[in-house]
Amino acid sequence: MSHIRDLFRESPFEPLRYHMKSVMECVALLQPMFEAVRDENFDELQNIATKVFKVEHEADKIKDDIRRTIPKRFFLPVYRGDLLGYIKLQDDMADSVEDVAYLLTIKNLVLPKPIVDTVFKYVAKVESVCKQTNTITDYLPTLVEGDMVGVEAEHAITLVDNVAHAEWESDRISYQLSQQLFALDDEMKATDIFLWFRIFGELGQLANYAEKTGDRLRRMLST
C-alpha cells in the first residue's frame, strides 16, 4: 500500500495508470486465448487462462489498495466518488476478460470455421476499444497539469469520443457475428451456440466498460 501512497503524491491519477497496466495485461491475453481455441490447443488455452486469472487477481488487489488509500482529507481536483467510479470501471474490464477465460475453458469448444474471421475481427476491435481507453488513462496526469480545462480538456473529450465510436463499431461487428453464429444452428449443438453467444456477449461487456470509463472522465470534466 505504501507504493500506492507514493503514487498519490505524484498525482491523484497515477494509481489509476498503475492499475490500468494490469487491466491491459489481461486484455492482451484475449487474442492468444482465441488462437488456442481455433487451433484446438486446449492445454495452451488453460495455461493462458490461468495467467488471466492471476493478473486479474493482481488488478483486484491494486484496486483495493487504491480504495483504502485515496486521500479523504486532502484536496483532489475531482470528486473522490468519480475517482472510485473510474477505478471500478477499469476493474470491470479485467473482470470481463476473466469471465471470457472462464467461459472458454468450461469445455473444449470448437470454433466454427465460417465465423473464424469475424470472431478475430471482433476480438481485435474490442482490444482497440480497450487500448484507446488506456490512452485516456495515460493522459490523465497531463490533464491535471492543465487544471482539467483548455486545450488539454478538449483533447481528452476527443479521446473519449474516439472510444465511443470504436465501441459502436464493435457493436456492429457483434451483431454480424451473432447472425453468423445462429445461421449455424443446424450444424452445431444448441449448448455450444449458447456458450459462444455468452462469450461474445462478454466481449461486448468489455467494450462497454471501456466506453463507460471514458464517459466517467467526461463527467469529471463537466463537474
pLDDT in tens, the chain (223 residues): 456 556 656 566 788 888 999 999 999 999 999 999 999 999 999 999 999 999 999 999 999 888 887 765 445 566 777 788 889 999 999 999 999 999 999 999 999 999 999 999 999 999 999 999 999 998 887 777 666 667 888 888 899 999 999 999 999 999 999 999 999 999 999 999 999 999 999 999 999 999 999 998 888 777 6
The whole domain housing 170 covers 2-222
Give the other-Cβ count within 10 Å of 223's Cβ. Answer: 9
The C-alpha cell that represents 151 in the structure block: 486545450
Which phi-psi region, left, alpha or beta, contains residue 148 (left: φ > 0; alpha: ψ -120 to 50)?
left
Domains contained in the chain, number: 1
pLDDT at residue 7, rounded to an integer: 61
> What is the per-residue pLDDT for 143?
77
Q: What would the DSSP string read from start to end of 86-119?
A: HHHHHHHHHHHHHHHHHHHTTTT----GGGHHHH
pLDDT at 44: 98
Using CA atoms, how far apart are residues 22 and 200, in angstroms rounded to an integer? 22
Give residue 89's pLDDT. Answer: 95
pTM of the model: 0.91
Q: Which residues contact 156 (CB under 8 A, 6 or more apart)?
A: 136, 139, 143, 217, 221
Which residue type does 72 have?
K
Residue-level pLDDT at 209: 97
Phi-psi region of 111 (alpha: psi -120 to 50; beta: other; left: phi over 0): beta
Confidence at residue 73, expressed as pLDDT on a 0 to 100 scale: 46
Please answer whether residues 28 and 51 qualify as being in contact, where contact means their C-beta atoms are separated by less than 8 angstroms: no
Burial group, residue 193, by CB count within 10 angstroms (0-12, 13-18, 19+): middle
Give me the CATH number covering residue 95.
1.20.58.220
Kindly give, in sequence order, each residue whose CB lies less than 8 Å from that of residue 138, ignoring residues fewer than 6 positions away. Answer: 17, 20
| The pLDDT value given to residue 94 | 97
Alpha-carbon distance 222 to 131, whole Å? 24
Measuring CA to CA, which residue among 155, 5, 143 is closest to residue 78?
A: 143
- Residues 180, 193: contact at Cβ < 8 Å? no
